[in-house]
Structure 1
């Protein structure tokens, strides 16, 4: 029987699995799916789980009129101790249960390709799941390990995602290089500084080649949240005023709108008290039409479709100087041109945090810019122009390389088979 292992990049936005043929020492193929799960409201008649994963989750969610439970960015809850479980279709789901559904989908597709049940995997993880707490980082690692077990993997190793990206880049080199790798995903930005050498591809010990690793909990989702706060929330009544008592006019609490800027805070609106408060704000605002949009957003579970429009705007601005922010659904109408300068201003604080962290990372690890032979950028967020300008500004004399922004990590993880030698 042939020997295979899977390199798995479980990502905030997308997840990828590369099938590695251990005998031929090559990648057979790579599978890429969105990290999405949709649970229809209708429970299966036979009592089995009723859910869809990946591309089908989007189409099913939209065809069902955006009814049911739509879950994205699951990776971000791995480190949150405040998240213990959620109930869907009268069943209890932990963070590990939810992650396992995506890993199972990837494994099932890969197993079908190779023709048997593969138990061996190298799974990527960010350098830090949570940059504020080592305890929460351990929690995330434990949950991810449990998810791998629930998915049917019995032989598992973990590798830092930027190291995976580096090994994918190493396959393209013709000489030894000192490389700074930046893996910019939806949830985190990770850095690795290491020596890459094409003559060492597949070597069993790369410990001496790894010079520094680090990361910060900022990524593409952070940019989307900032955009929603600045450009999206005004369309949902952020500036709505209401008459608290006769003659006393107040603005509705800003906290309401902080909770529509990330999907995982939307359950804030499930409580009876907050629902009643929202109804009162609407009534005492004189039925403000913008605030009505907030009610429509909550009642009809439209958050994901709004963030799809934000994502389209972000992608558009990676190539154009002006791109529309456009959304029309159930009476909510958004149509506004966004310039690249406006967008850069919106994400400026997050870009500055990444920049400051990178400076600290280099200083802490005694890395000089003139010692770096090349930069390797990967991850979907690396396409954001402000990110590209950041690296060009900091390293004007260093060549910048990119690979496949969505599959480089999984391929490099698959090339990390030496981890099973220890």
Structure 2
């Protein structure tokens, strides 16, 4: 049997596992799946699968007419103290249970591929699960540890995700460099400044090479939420006026639409009080069709399918200067052209927050820009043009490098076996 180590990058959007041969000191293969779970609405028999994970979760969810429980962005609930559990098919699932489902799927696929069971892993974690909240960060870490145990992993160490990305990048270096690594994912943006040296890539002690770490709770999901607020919510009643009980013409409160700008928060509308408010606005606005759209969106659980189109628009604008934001489902009709310039304006506040944090990170750690030899970006959100432009403008003297934006962290985590020696 081979002596194996798994590097696991549990992500907001996608999760990846790299299989590392500890004797040959090389990554054998990497598996990547969407971080999605689907619980079918009705199980036809006792032998039916209780849930499906990854690519099949999307397929089955859409095939079933989006009627069951579809769960995404599970990583974001790790730090939420307000989330204790959810009940699905008369069974309670806490945060660790849900995370374990995805990690178990990755492990099962890897074990099957390798023909043996591996119980040793380095699992990635963001620098901060929640901005500057130590209590929530500790909660998230403990939940992730429990999830790893539930998934059947007995020997586990944790590594900051951008450090994992750095170790993957180090394999391509020819000489020693001080590198700023930015890992821009769906939920967080993390930074690490460290010394990378190809002559040290297999050393057992790398702690002194890490000079500074930091992060902010903002990522690709934030961009999607901003886009939904600007371009999506007007189709669901934002800015619509209605006749108040006093006879005055009023505008529907903006707060009503905040919860449809984050897909996983749409359950907010399940409350009877909010549902009644929506129906009242529909009536007193003269049955405005935009409120009919909102009711259709909620009643038919269409949030995920809508946000898929928002993400497609984002991806398209990472490759071209113009894209079409289009959605047609159950009477909801959205279709408008979006330019890259317009999109950049929509996410400007989010990008500025990343910029502001990065400037603070450099200042607090006394990192001079001229001391940075290399810049390495990874994560799906690093493909957004406004993000890349931010780094090019901020570090004009440094060449920008990118690896495989979706598996570089997992590969780097697999190279972090030195953690077991401490």
Same fold (TM over 0.5): yes
Give 1:265 deviation, angstroms: 1.4
Q: How many Å separate the matches in 1 of 2:73 and 2:117?
A: 28
Which residue does 1:278 correspond to in 2?
278
Please say if 1:390 is aligned against 2:390. yes
- Paired position in structure 1 for 2:293: 293
Match of 1:329 in 2: 329
CA distance in 2, matches of 1:71, 1:80: 16
Q: Are residues 1:133 and 2:133 paired?
A: yes
Of residues 365-374 and 376-385 in structure 1, the stretch that sits farther from structure 2 once superposed is 365-374
Give deviations 1:63-82, integer Å, cap 9, x for gaps: 11111111111111111101
Partner of 2:238: helix, strand, or coil?
coil
The 5-angstrom pairing of residues 30-49 of structure 1 reads: 30-43=30-43, 45-46=45-46
Please list, as runs of the form range in 1=range in 2, the aligned pairs for 1:323-362 lying within 5 A after superposition. Answer: 323-362=323-362
Q: Which residues of structure 2 form unaligned runs of 5+?
A: none
* Residue deviations 1:211-259 (CA, integer Å, cap 9, x gap): 0000000100000001000110001111222222262222222222100
1:148 and 1:256 map into 2 onto residues whose CA distance is 37
Q: 1:183 maps to which residue?
A: 183
Contact 2:38 2:68 in 1 (8 A): yes
- Structure-2-length-normalised TM-score: 0.98
Match of 2:174 in 1: 174
If the length of structure 1 is used for normalisation, what is the TM-score?
Answer: 0.98
Deviations 1:92-149 (A, max 9, x none): 1111111011001000000001112211110000000001311001010011001101
Runs of 4+ in 1 over 4 A off after TM superposition: none
1:180–1:375 contact (8 Å) kept in structure 2: yes
Residues in 2 aligned to 1:33 and 1:210: alpha-carbon distance in whole angstroms: 29
1:164 corresponds to: 164
Query: What is the distance in 1 between the residues matched to 2:162 and 2:127?
Result: 8
Q: Determine whether 1:263 maps to 2:263.
A: yes
- Provide Cα deviations, 1:269-322, integer angstroms capped at 9, x if missing partner: 111222222222212211110111000000011111111111011111112111
Contact kept? 1:44, 1:50, Cα under 8 Å: no
- For the pair 1:231 / 2:254, whether they are aligned, the reply is no
Distance 1:227 1:218 in 2: 14
What RMSD, in angstroms, separates the aligned Cα atoms of the two structures?
1.1
Any residues of structure 2 matched to 1:117-128 within 5 Å, and which? 117-128=117-128
Asked if the contact 2:96–2:143 (Cα under 8 Å) also holds between the matched residues in 1, the reply is yes
8 Å contact kept, 2:263–2:307: no
* SS of aligned partner of 1:245: coil
1:48, distance to aligned residue in structure 2 (A): 7.0
What is the SS of the residue equivalent to 2:244?
strand
Mapping of residues 73-222 of structure 1, within 5 Å: 73-222=73-222
Deviations 1:319-377 (A, max 9, x none): 21111111111111111111111111111111111111111111111111111111000
**Would you say how many aligned residue pairs link Structure 1 and Structure 2?**
422
Structure 2: how far apart are the matches of 1:350 and 1:108? 37
Q: Distance in 2 between matches of 1:205 and 1:392?
A: 32
Q: In the aligned structure 2, how far is the partner of 1:389 from the partner of 1:190?
A: 17
Pairwise CA distance, 1:49: 5.6
Q: Match of 1:132, SS? A: coil
Question: Is the 1:119–1:155 contact (alpha carbons within 8 Å) kept by the matching residues of 2?
Answer: yes
Partner of 1:10: 10
Q: Matches of residues 50-61 of structure 1 in structure 2 within 5 Å?
A: 50-61=50-61
Distance in 2 between the 1:75 and 1:48 partners? 27
Which position in structure 2 is the counterpart of 1:367? 367
